[in-house]
Structures are given as structure tokens and as C-alpha cells.
Structure 1
Amino acid sequence: MDAQSQQPQVGVVKKKETRGRKPKPKEEKKDDQQQQAKMKKAHQQATVDDKYTQWKSLVPVLYDWLANHNLVWPSLSCRWGPQLEQATYKNRQRLYLSEQTDGSVPNTLVIANCEVVKPRVAAAEHISQFNEEARSPFVKKYKTIIHPGEINRIRELPQNTKIVATHTDSPDVLIWDVEAQPNRHAVLGATSSRPDLILTGHQDNAEFALAMCPTEPYVLSGGKDKTVVLWSIQDHISAATTDPAATKSQGSGGSIIKQNSKPGDGNDKAADGPSVAPRGIYYGHEDTVEDVAFCPSSSQEFCSVGDDSCLILWDARVGSSPAIKVEKAHNADLHCVDWNPHDDNLILTGSADNSVRLFDRRNLTSGGVGAPIYKFEGHKAAVLCVQWCPDKSSVFGSSAEDGLLNIWDYEKVCKERTTKGPSSPPGLFFQHAGHRDKVVDFHWNASDPWTIVSVSDDCDTTGGGGTLQIWRMSDLIYRPEEEVLAELEKFKSHVVSCASKP
């Protein structure tokens, strides 16, 4: 264990209610409600502890690799950055993480170096022997950017994963070149780092809905002003300079952001940085826009979901009104959406009604109401994040306030409908139960297949600021059944032959 893991824990007092928490009760009912809430929480905690203990005992069987990292401060977003190095037994990769502090030190955007152990390398007893209250030796802080406000979302630019966008409690989207930014020491009174670019256009706070386009350097956002806003980072390059170096591509080593000046060592006002206006503003939602996603094959097509229970598809080529509006996509607020990178027709949504729904854009509605292909109902609390797996087109993950991260395969749904007997919800084939409170974000690793980073707001349970986990299920779980059985038969033959030797 390294010296970092032996540091004393820092007490955490949160500044704000994060999404999904219930509003405070009125004064006249406060005492009774508090007592009931306390009893309910104690019961829930006992259940959570039992489930967690059971899960931990199964780690050597279920996982190929797992790293548990206790955080100093709560985090609302985690994302993989570029892969830095490949070695014999592990790969080194950037990891982006937010830190939501209590005000005693500034909020930060953390750039970490993460060692990802390769498949079938870690010993079973090794991955199960982790300390819940320790930092992981596999995650080391590389750089800190002092962020103006708390970070609700981080998204990396596919064309250059060293460029990230952040959402905070403001109308602006902030763009950072994480390699060019200076490393800052987060101490009380330190001034904020200066963003490389500020995207303006929202008329009210935009906190959660944020996406980067797979095909062009475009950014999409949604906010409390009920709008969806689209920008091109290239617009800043063309407006700010005529220097040919500004248009260097990622392939030739240039940044996608061209600065007139270097990022400052600190500036109290983020607005002093260079800004760019939107390409378009799109109107159609009747409440806060909670999430947005681009069509994987088009920079002009995208979708959004919101607290009005609507899923809206947009086409920038035909105007600022919805191309298709799905009323009542769910029976409650929609928190998240993701568009299948392997099949442009499939869209996932997650909601406060505890369900995940799969839509086909060729047949979105029936009588004006949402008509999903299937409803996945395995969570017991609001779904906060959904994401398709980059390694198999029919697989996706969903995380929720029940502390679970479920892995589904919609191809299994039809097969399982024909089987008899009690079982898990159709399509659910793996359940990650390593977190002990709401799983606020997770991200599949495109460089290391079937590897996931997830973060939870469980500081009350862990004695820290929450938990970051990097994990990969055993390949015996997701590989084709006949392939697995053949391998197990081969292994069985090997064991028998070894046992028969004198």
C-alpha cells in the first residue's frame, strides 16, 4: 500500500443537495418525518450492509479485476481519458474526476493516472483483499485544475480526449485543455483556473445535460431554460485567429483549441476567458433538460430528455423545433439518455420511475405516447445514468440511486421470456453491488474492453468522500455459452490429468 493510502480521512460536509435527493420537509411535520426517515434509513442501511457483505464474498468469483478507491471528496462525474501506455500486465490511462468540496478548499477537476490490469492477470485472492477506507495504488493524482464552481458533468472530446467540457451550476459550458492547463494546488482562497474556452448561450443554469459529438468537434448542452444548445469548438478557431497552426488536426499533434494566450495561473472570473456563441438553440421542452446525446453517425442529429417526461429528437438541418417529440416517454422525470453507437435506430432512456426503456426511432410513439420496444425494470430507485457498451451492440449499463450498476443484454430478453421459474429481470445478466449508496456516474472503457469506472455518493458509509471503483467482470459471464463450456471442459480434463499423475 502506498503512502497516499495511509492519509487521514477528511470529514465531508456537503454544500448542496445532489440530484435525486428529496426536498426538505416543512417545519410542522419535520420532527415526525425526521424520525420516520431515520428509522427507514437504519433499515435500508442494514439491508445495504448485508448485500455489500454478500457481494464482497463473491468478488473472486465474479470479477476478473477490481480496484476500490476511497475518495477524499464526493464526485459527481468520472470519465476515461486517453490511453498512455501499454505494458505486459497492465495499461496506463488518464482518468478524469470531479471533486465536490465543502468550501474549505476549492472545487477541482482531477486528472489522474490509472493502471488498468489486463484480463486474466490479477489473482482472485488479490482483487478481493481491498480496504474500503484506503486509496487505491492503481489510481494516482496527476494534475489538479481549480474549477469555478462544482462540477456536475465531465465529457471528453472524441477527436481529442485531452479536451474536456464541464458543466457547473451556471449557464456556461467550460472547455479545458487538460494537458496545457497548469497544475494547481487546491488551498483555501486559491483563484480559479482559467478555462481555455467558454460556451455561452443558455439563459439559466445548465447543470447535467452535456454531450460531445463523435464525428465533429461539436458540444451539446441542455439546461433549466428548457433549451438544447449546440456549439462548434471550431468556431472559436476561425473567429479568434487566422494562424494556420490553429487548424492542425489531432492526428498531426495540434490542439483542437487555439489560444491567443496561455491559460492563466488563476482568475476569479471564468468569464474572462475566450468565449464562443452557439450554432443553434432548440426549443421544445417544457421543463429542465436533464440529458442530451448525439446520433453516432451525424453531427446534425441529436436527442434530449427532461423533467417534462419527454424524449425529443432534433435535426439541425431542418430548424430549431423538434423533429419528433415523444410525450410520456416515461411516467416521471427523465434523467438520462444514450444513443447506440452500433445501431443508429436504438435509444436508451432512464427515469425517476426506476426503469430503463429502449426505443427504436423508426417507431417512437403510439397515439402520441412513447412506445418503447422494451421496459427494463430491475432497479428499485431512480435511474441516474445509462450507457451502451462499446464492445457489444446489444449490451448496456444502468446505474441508480439504489446503489446498483446493472448490466443488460436486450438480445437475452426474448430467450428468457420462454424459460420458466424465478429469475432476475429479463435481460439482466450482471449486477455490480460494490457501491453502498447512489451510483451517480459510470463510464465504459473504450481502450480496455469490458472495463468500467463507476463512482458513488456513499460518504456516510465509507468514512470518506465516496467511492470510485474500476472493475471488469469475469469473461466467463459474457462470452458465448458454448465457448465457455468448451473451456471449462478443457480445464476439467486438465485437472483430472493432473490428479492422476503420481
Structure 2
Amino acid sequence: MKKERAKVEEVSTTEEKYAQWKSQVPVLYDWFANHNLVWPSLSCRWGPQIEQAVYKNKHRLYLSEQTDGSLPNTLIVANCEVVKSRVAAAEHIEHFNEEARSPFVKKYKTILHPGEVNRIRELPQNSKIVATHTDSPDVLIWDIEAQPNRHAVLGASVSRPDLILTGHQDNAEFALAMCPTEPFVLSGGKDKSVVLWSIQDHISISAAADQGSTKSPGSGSSSVKQDSKVGGDSTTMSPSIGPRGIYQGHRNTVEDVQFCPTSVQEFCSVGDDSCLILWDARVGFNPVIKVEKAHDADIHCVDWNHHDENLILTGSADNSVHMFDRRNLTSGGAGSPIHKFKGHSDAVLCVQWCPDKSSVFGSAAEDGLLNIWDHEKAWKAKERIGTRTRSTSPGLFFQHGGHRGKVIEFHWNPSDPWTIISVSDDCDTIGGGGTLQIWRMNDMIYRPKEEVLAELEQFKSHLNTCK
């Protein structure tokens, strides 16, 4: 009875916060779209921009659908129209239906995925190629354009991946990354290992096979794999490739991995052992730097700054985000975060640096919030207040409160500045399914203060002229 009462109170509080947020949408956002999902999505990613028009651009979206087993799990490819900056009227973005599908999001293709789609990552060199993590040891590679469109009906055979990456000895469900500079894939799993592959190996091997030549030394092994977990029916076979390296150093499940933005050989990983580990493939398979207590609990996520390769973010079940400077870390494992960001009341599930400003990043958590931070503002606030305490979290300058369930993942749009896609699992809050939201905050929130004040003064003068 107490649990039921607590549940009712929690839902009531969530709805009150949501109503308050919704009333502020016309002021806080330059553009906003809400898309109701029948099934929860565990991952969301922007694909390539495919069309440009006067008032909006069209982008690909990659989403997952986690079903209850009555229908196959799916990898969804959608087309999304993103309204350009300062085009949408406040009245337009204010009126949206939480229970409806957005007219800006149209399903383009459905791939019947073998098992849950826990993570989706696109290849930077060709964003039509994506990797997925599922509830098995293998990583699956998909050529989105080559895959046939399927219908998710009971009993349908699953789609065939274009390539299977083998090497894990236990399920690898969440830790997945693509290299920014080369077609390399990185993964972590329950076997406590970090595994590295090159998709280029497969391309080279295929080309060599066509010419009747043999595989060059040092590249991963390739074969044709038949697997009931992956292939669906017994007649389905997909090519597979072995790893370039397997890296051991964690004592528990590896939860996330990330490449250094400027190096194919350097990468990092975090896990349920609370460790942050830096690796360098050029010096072997053991950790180069291991921070033993990077957080006080499991670490769920990590991201490496693309503008400053010394800065690394981690998010944890201790509700905080830590920022590390790798120049302060030593091979002996010494080193502490240069800043701790505390603005969530529940476990942080996703952190990601903003591609448009080097000091800005986002963090999403089980508390239903997606926080936007600026670490430069955090440092300035720290210098300003000294030892005095303050009520707000230093560096936090925007909170997206549009989700009523835990925010599983978000992704900054790499080609449309300050535009974000985010997904939440609403099964525990508003009766099931999930919510996809595409949004861009009002640019007056993040632009330089002097610039904004000058614009407002100019607008004031314009109004006086109109009178």
C-alpha cells in the first residue's frame, strides 16, 4: 500500500513539473517537436542530412524499438524535418500533443533486429553504416541503404546484418563507439574486456578475395558466420570478422567506451568497477592510465572532447558528472577530476560534448532531466563565490524538462547547430512506451551576454519606431 501511494505521489510530482515546463516552451525553445513512441527506445542517433530547403532541412534518424516480445525488436530509420533557426513561431511550437506522433518525423525503413537494440552508433566516415549492440557477445554492422525494408509482424524472420564483429566472450550490450578518423569500432562487455575492430579489414579482405589473393598479416580474421542468435533462420549467413585487439584491465562490466578524437590508437573505457581507463594500442593490451575511483559508484558513460583532447567526461550512478584532464593523470592511477558537476537527483546515463562550443556538454539521467552545462561558467562561478555555497549547480545553464520518464540517450546534431534529439523510457511513469523529442533552445540563452543585450536594445528601438 505504501509503495502504491509513493508511486501515485511520484507520478503527481512528475506531472506538476512537466506542466510547469510545458508552459515555458515558447520562451525557452527556438524549436521543439514531440513524437510519441509505441515502444521504448534505448538509443537515438542523427544520420546524415539529406535535403536542404528554405525553412527546414531533412535529416536521417536512427532509433531502436524495444518490444515486449509480441513483435520483433526493430532498428528504425526515419526522416526528420528540422525547422531552421528563428523560423518557428512561438504559437507553433507551443501546441503539441504528447500522445501523438509528430508530423516532422516519418518512418523510412524498418530493420528487424535480432535481439534488443541497446546501442546505435554511426560511422563518421559514412553515416549510412551503423553498428548496433544487442543482448549477445557480437556487434552487428548494418548498411542502412542496402538493407531491405521489413514489416514487424509476429513470427517474421529477423534481418541479416551485413557484418558481424566477434571477439567478446560474454554479452556486450552498451559500450560501443566508432572512431572519428578511421573505420574502427570499439566495444566493451560483461567479459570485462574492451575489443577493437577495423571494418576496413573486411573491405580489404573482400577485395583481396575477389582478386584471388590472401589476407595481409596483422588484420582481423574473416569468415562466414551462421548463428541462431544473429542470423534468424538456419539459411541465413553473415560474414564475420575477428578483433585487432582485446584489452583487459577492468574488474567488472565495461559500460562505455570512447576513442580519442585525434588518434586511432588511443581510447578510454569506464565500467561497473568505478574505473576510468586510458588505453594506447601502440604500447600493448594493458592500461596506460587507470583511475581506480573515478566515481563513488558504477560509471555508465564517457565522452572525449573533440575540441580539446585533454578533457574527458564521465557520468555515474552516484548522480554526478566528472571532468578529467588527462594531463593530470599518471600511469600509477593517480588523478582526480578537475571538476564535479552535481545537478541530477538520479543516475547519469549519458554525457556528450557539444560539437558547436568546446566548453559545453549535456548530461541525461534517470531523473528525467537533460542538463546543459558550460564548464567555463563553472570555473568563473567557483572563482566568484570562493568557499561560499550557492543554491544552483555551477555551470548549469539550461534544463530540458520535457521528458516524464528517465532520459536514456541524447545526441547533438553534428550539422545543425545546437539541435538535440533525446529519448525517454516512459514505462514507469505515464503508462508505457517512450518519447522522442527534437529541440533547440532559444539562442539568447547561450550567446554572449553583451551580444544578446545589444540585440534586445535594437529590438526596443524598432518597437519605438513602430509606435
Structure 1 residues 67-120: Cα deviation after superposition (integer angstroms, max 9, x where no partner)? 000001111000000000110000000000000011111000000000000000
Question: Relative to 1, partners in 2 of residues 1:270 and 1:401: Cα closer, same or farther, differing over 3 Å?
Answer: farther
Structure 1 residues 356-387: Cα deviation after superposition (integer angstroms, max 9, x where no partner)? 00000011369845400000000000000000
SS at match of 1:149: coil
Equivalent residue runs for 1:196-215 within 5 Å: 196-215=162-181
Aligned position for 1:287: 252
Aligned position for 2:317: 352
CA deviation after TM superposition for structure 1 residue 237, in Å: 1.6
Aligned position for 2:299: 334
CA deviation after TM superposition for structure 1 residue 497, in Å: 1.6
Aligned position for 1:184: 150
Structure 1 residues 324-348: Cα deviation after superposition (integer angstroms, max 9, x where no partner)? 0000000000000000000110000
What amino acid sits opposite 1:484 in the alignment?
V
| Residues in 2 aligned to 1:269 and 1:433: alpha-carbon distance in whole angstroms | 47
CA deviation after TM superposition for structure 1 residue 194, in Å: 0.3
Contact 1:70 1:464 in 2 (8 A): no
Aligned position for 1:57: 23
Pairing partner for 1:193 from 153, 159, 168 = 159
What amino acid sits opposite 1:478 in the alignment?
Y
CA deviation after TM superposition for structure 1 residue 424, in Å: 2.0
Aligned position for 2:445: 477
| Residues in 2 aligned to 1:59 and 1:492: alpha-carbon distance in whole angstroms | 23
Contact 2:169 2:191 in 1 (8 A): yes
Identity %: 77
| Residues in 2 aligned to 1:161 and 1:421: alpha-carbon distance in whole angstroms | 45
Question: Relative to 1, partners in 2 of residues 1:123 and 1:178: Cα closer, same or farther, differing over 3 Å?
Answer: same
Structure 1 residues 34-89: Cα deviation after superposition (integer angstroms, max 9, x where no partner)? x4433322222221111100000000000000000000111100000000011000
SS at match of 2:445: helix
1:232 aligns with 2:198: yes
Q: CA RMSD in A?
A: 2.0
| Residues in 2 aligned to 1:462 and 1:269: alpha-carbon distance in whole angstroms | 40
What amino acid sits opposite 2:266 in the alignment?
E
Contact 2:289 2:331 in 1 (8 A): no
| Residues in 2 aligned to 1:217 and 1:77: alpha-carbon distance in whole angstroms | 21
CA deviation after TM superposition for structure 1 residue 464, in Å: 4.9
SS at match of 1:80: strand
Pairing partner for 2:34 from 68, 77, 85 = 68
Question: Relative to 1, partners in 2 of residues 1:365 and 1:228: Cα closer, same or farther, differing over 3 Å?
Answer: same
| Residues in 2 aligned to 1:100 and 1:109: alpha-carbon distance in whole angstroms | 9
Aligned position for 1:9: none
| Residues in 2 aligned to 1:94 and 1:243: alpha-carbon distance in whole angstroms | 33
| Residues in 2 aligned to 1:414 and 1:240: alpha-carbon distance in whole angstroms | 52
Equivalent residue runs for 1:178-327 within 5 Å: 178-242=144-208, 267-268=232-233, 272-327=237-292
Contact 2:114 2:232 in 1 (8 A): no
What amino acid sits opposite 1:175 in the alignment?
I
Question: Relative to 1, partners in 2 of residues 1:382 and 1:497: Cα closer, same or farther, differing over 3 Å?
Answer: same
Pairing partner for 2:353 from 383, 388, 397 = 388
Q: Name stretches of at least 5 consecutive residues in structure 2 with no aligned partner.
A: 212-221, 225-230
CA deviation after TM superposition for structure 1 residue 147, in Å: 0.2
Question: Relative to 1, partners in 2 of residues 1:367 and 1:176: Cα closer, same or farther, differing over 3 Å?
Answer: closer
Contact 2:252 2:273 in 1 (8 A): yes
Contact 1:314 1:324 in 2 (8 A): yes
Aligned position for 2:218: none
SS at match of 2:177: strand
Count of residues in Structure 1 that have an aligned counterpart in Structure 2: 448
| Residues in 1 aligned to 2:334 and 2:394: alpha-carbon distance in whole angstroms | 24
| Residues in 1 aligned to 2:236 and 2:346: alpha-carbon distance in whole angstroms | 38
Question: Relative to 1, partners in 2 of residues 1:199 and 1:64: Cα closer, same or farther, differing over 3 Å?
Answer: same
The TM-score, its normalising length taken from structure 2, stands at 0.93
| Residues in 2 aligned to 1:62 and 1:365: alpha-carbon distance in whole angstroms | 42
The TM-score, its normalising length taken from structure 1, stands at 0.86
SS at match of 2:114: coil
SS at match of 2:25: helix
Q: Name stretches of at least 5 consecutive residues in structure 1 with no aligned partner.
A: 1-34, 246-257, 261-265
| Residues in 1 aligned to 2:187 and 2:301: alpha-carbon distance in whole angstroms | 13
SS at match of 2:98: coil
SS at match of 1:483: helix
SS at match of 2:457: helix
SS at match of 2:24: helix
| Residues in 2 aligned to 1:297 and 1:443: alpha-carbon distance in whole angstroms | 20
Structure 1 residues 292-323: Cα deviation after superposition (integer angstroms, max 9, x where no partner)? 00000001000000000000000000000000
Aligned position for 1:26: none
| Residues in 2 aligned to 1:152 and 1:401: alpha-carbon distance in whole angstroms | 16
Range with greater deviation from structure 2 (412-421 or 428-437):
412-421
Question: Relative to 1, partners in 2 of residues 1:269 and 1:235: Cα closer, same or farther, differing over 3 Å?
Answer: farther
SS at match of 2:75: strand
